[in-house]
Structure 1
Amino acid sequence: ERWNAKTADDVQIPSWWRTPARYWANALNFIEMFDACANGTEDFLIFEDDCIFRPDFNERFDLFLAEVPQDWQFINLGPVMSQCRLYPPMQVSENILKPRYFHGTHAILVRPEFAKVCADHLRREHWGTSHVCDQWLGTLFINPDFAKVYCPKVSLCGQSAGVSTLTGREYQDRWFMNYQYVDLEGKITRALDPYFAEG
């Protein structure tokens, strides 16, 4: 099902908002999707329109689903773990990580009971300085005991080249930083697999 996303022209920003309307529109889109999931009985798999997939995505995705703990509440298939030194992920099994702070919503899975938590978190006023939907959503997971959130050790999804509707900047294909860039002590390491590339 294709979701008809709101744009800056469709929204009225709240008085406390301090960044462009397009960022608020992005938040409202996710609030609506999370609400739809919370009001149903099925898990939601959400791909943004600029999501790209590894050539071996189908095989790796099936293996990931077989390995990930079955009580998961939220999964990110291509998280941007830009603060690994401060919030290092925890390794759950050979190919599964439990991330802490991360952002990126281009490829996520969410279960109905946790979708309500996500929607309510995005409705909260006064986000501080982080007025970007995915960054604020990522703060939900800083406490590793708060949610059953997981991601693959190898990113399965990235974002395609083009002009971002949020930043207005043009990007090449991006495969974001993940665990392979950080050792267990939090030191940055180099990655040889192109799908680990930060872009």
Structure 2
Amino acid sequence: MKRLLFAGFLGGLVAWIWGALIWMALGLHLPAINSFADATAINSALAAADGQGTSGMYWVPGMKHRPEMTEEEQAAAREEWMDEASAGPYAIVYLHPRGVNAHSMHYLWKGLLLEICAATLAAWILSLACAGRSLPYLKRVAVVAGLGAFAAIVAPLLGWNYMHFPINWTLHLVFDHITTWTVAALAIAWRIR
């Protein structure tokens, strides 16, 4: 158990450091992030659109169908939404009308904790793969790196397919998942045999 927890801690720390390196120090994802030249009109529209002050995910155009509608009404509303989405503009907005504390360090510490939890899960999966047999180091690395590839498929690639994430952003996230968990795998596989 100690070996598993240590591998999770070490792998999570390595993943977190790698993430800090590629996101903050090297800025590898910056080319995939766009900004509006003048966001004043958009900020005003977002502030006016959400009078309830509710944080959440919003689609533009907004979904038309509601659970209380009849099946025929829902089908017509879905068709209307698809026509509007096809005509554009189309957006997914993650809205926090009261803002977020961008200066807070708690995001970094929470990120470290989440990386440690994920790495501990990866270490546990690797320990199951190694149960009763000894795998060479590079095969152990491949097991954990494969989890990174799995995560890249089920998160950003499915988001690209269903939610229309831009391909440039998606490929940056795929790179992030695969490289992060390959680097973390080097540490995890060192402790789990």
Q: Point out the structure with max Rg over C-alpha.
A: 2
Q: Which has the higher helix share?
A: 2
Length-normalised TM-score, structure 1: 0.25
Length-normalised TM-score, structure 2: 0.26
Q: Which has the higher strand share?
A: 1
Between 1 and 2, higher relative CO (CA 8 Å, sep ≥ 6) is seen in: 2
